[in-house]
Amino acid sequence: MKQLIYCDNNATTALDPRVLEKMMPWLTTQFGNASARIYPLGRNAYEAVESSRLMLADFLNANKEEISFTSGSTESINLAMRGVFDSYKSRGKHILISRTEHNAVIETACALEQQGAEIEYINVDENGMIKRDELEKQIRKDTLLTCVMLVNNETGTVQPIEEVSELVRRTKSFLLCDATQAPGRIDFPKLNQYADLIALSAHKLYGPKGVGVLYAKRKNPRVSLTPQLTGGNQELGLRAGTLNVPGIVGFGAAVSLLNQDELQRIQSLRDRFEDQVTKHSSTSINSKSVTRACNTSSITFMNHTAQELILLLQDTAAVSTGSACSSTSDEPSHVLLAMGHSPQQALSTLRFSFGRFNTASEIDSISEKLQEILTA
């Protein structure tokens, strides 16, 4: 296979070789069960897990006890939403979610609806920004949970989480922030000041697949989640199962490699790409006028469908129409529809998402190829 230019970093990122290097001892000689702390092999694994937990806690400005490891963001989100609902449903059953949330949030909400939750959606404007005035009216005394993502996976739109938090704080509602697409894409805020629950995944930040984190605030307010996977005493009883030590070590290593300079470099690649693509063709870039992730370029084309373009680009670049999790379906993106796109516009939109390993010459090659296609 010819070397494809990888422009789908929001679906998943390549594992950074430096991260893999840190994982290798835990994939070879250091194979102990982190719960078997009676002997060194187990204690070493335990300490490695705890040191990663500390790195994640530092990253989130949190305490170690607030960080639980899971198999990924989707599980973290499920645990947060179901865990809150099961623990606090006597307090209220009203759940607010923004229309552009990832399916992990939307589908979990739908499942909770079957159990009696009342789900209400918060609208977004044409840039995908949450309508704060509507949220202010929607949020109620009995709102149990509000779910607003930090960075949208399809458009890169950054939600004003601080302002959302202010509104949510007026009530007793917990705020769940799916921050999966934020690390390595925005200057990461002190999110725990705003959100009570935060979900992250390692494979979106050059770490391994199969490992994620859920942050759950322990005071002001304390969020007592009902565990969804029960069994052993791992993760302070919140999430049972033998710990994925190499994965967790990789997560810590990946987080500690994130850096500010990288954001500027990736943004300049993205901007260079957008300049080149918009110069000669009739396209529109989604969410361009609002704060956006540095790496994401969601482009709506006028005369081509996304499917056509993906086929024409298939030997050059790996790009996608939007969320990989639902990309096997042919439905137009719920995110773009929520932003007011027609189904046809939504089906003519491609997401380019760049990352650490992209180069300027790669950017030039794709835009050249794209120009060729669009002017043909």
Partner 1 sequence: MNVYFDNAATTPLDQDVLLAMMPYLTEKFGNPSAIHAKGRETRAAIEKARKTIATLLNASPGEIFFTSGGTEANNTAIRSAVKASGIKHIITSPIEHHCVLHTAEELEKSGAVRVHLLGVDTKGRINTAQLRQLLSTLAEPALVSLMHANNEIGTMIDIGEIAAICAEFGALFHCDTVQTMAHYRFDLKKTPVHFISGAAHKFNGPKGVGFIYIHHSLTIPPLIYGGAQERNMRAGTENLYGVVGLAAAMERAYKHLDSEAIYINDLKNYMEQKLLNTFEGICIQGDPSRSLYTVLNVGFPLNDKTSMLLFNLDMNNICASSGSACSSGSSKGSHVLEAIHLPADKVAVRFSFDHNNTRDEVDYVIEKLKTWVPAISVSAV
Output the smallest distance, CB 16 to partner 1, in A: 10
Whose Cβ is closer to partner 1: residue 94's or residue 204's? 204
Concatenated DSSP letters of 1-52: ----EE-BTTT--PPPHHHHHHHHHHHTT----TT-TTSHHHHHHHHHHHHH
Rg (C-alpha) for the chain, rounded Å, is: 21
Structure token pair of residue 321? 């129409």
Output the smallest distance, CB 174 to partner 1, in A: 19
**Is there binding between residue 119 and partner 1 (CB under 8 A)?**
no
Amino acid at 175: L
Cis before residue 227, ω within 30 degrees of 0?
Answer: no
**Is there binding between residue 25 and partner 1 (CB under 8 A)?**
no
Integer Cα distance of 350 and 370 in angstroms: 12
**364 C-beta neighbours (distance < 10 Å), count:** 13
Q: Is the dihedral of CA 262, 263, 265, 270 positive or negative?
A: positive
Output the smallest distance, CB 252 to partner 1, in A: 15
Whose Cβ is closer to partner 1: residue 167's or residue 243's? 243
Which of 110, 147, 177, 325 is the catalytic position? Answer: 325
On whether the CB atoms of residues 115 and 142 are closer than 8 A, the answer is no
Element (H, E) at 122: strand 118-122
Interface residue with partner 1, options 240, 285, 312, 337 (CB under 8 A): 240
On whether the CB atoms of residues 242 and 275 are closer than 8 A, the answer is no
Interface residue with partner 1, options 44, 100, 181, 201 (CB under 8 A): 201
**Is there binding between residue 68 and partner 1 (CB under 8 A)?**
no
**Kind of pairing between the strands at 94-98 and 317-318:** unpaired
294 is an active site residue: no
Concatenated DSSP letters of 224-253: -PPPSS-SS-TGGGTS-S---HHHHHHHHH
Interface residue with partner 1, options 233, 260, 361, 375 (CB under 8 A): 233
**Is there binding between residue 185 and partner 1 (CB under 8 A)?**
no
Instruction: Give residues 295-314 in contact with partner 1 (rule: CB under 8 A).
Output: 310, 314
Interface residue with partner 1, options 51, 193, 231, 275 (CB under 8 A): 231
Instruction: Give residues 36-65 in contact with partner 1 (rule: CB under 8 A).
Output: 36-42
**Kind of pairing between the strands at 143-147 and 174-178:** parallel
Interface residue with partner 1, options 90, 220, 260, 329 (CB under 8 A): 329
Binding span for partner 1 by CB under 8 A among 59-67, 207-215, 268-276, 336-344: 207-215
Whose Cβ is closer to partner 1: residue 10's or residue 157's? 10
Instruction: Give residues 70-109 in contact with partner 1 (rule: CB under 8 A).
Output: 70-75, 77-78, 102-108
CA dihedral 12, 18, 22, 23 (to 10 degrees): 30
**Is there binding between residue 21 and partner 1 (CB under 8 A)?**
no
Whose Cβ is closer to partner 1: residue 46's or residue 188's? 46
Output the smallest distance, CB 180 to partner 1, in A: 10
Concatenated DSSP letters of 287-354: TTTS-B-TTEEEEEESS--HHHHHHHHTTTEE-BSS-GGGTTS-SPPHHHHHTT--HHHHTTEEEEE-
Structure token pair of residue 93? 């059953």
Q: Which residues contact 219 (CB under 8 A, 6 or more apart)?
A: none
Instruction: Give residues 244-263 in contact with partner 1 (rule: CB under 8 A).
Output: 244-247
**Is there binding between residue 353 and partner 1 (CB under 8 A)?**
no
Output the smallest distance, CB 51 to partner 1, in A: 17
Interface residue with partner 1, options 179, 191, 211, 346 (CB under 8 A): 211
Output the smallest distance, CB 318 to partner 1, in A: 4
**Is there binding between residue 181 and partner 1 (CB under 8 A)?**
no
Whose Cβ is closer to partner 1: residue 71's or residue 123's? 71
**Residues belonging to the active site:** 325
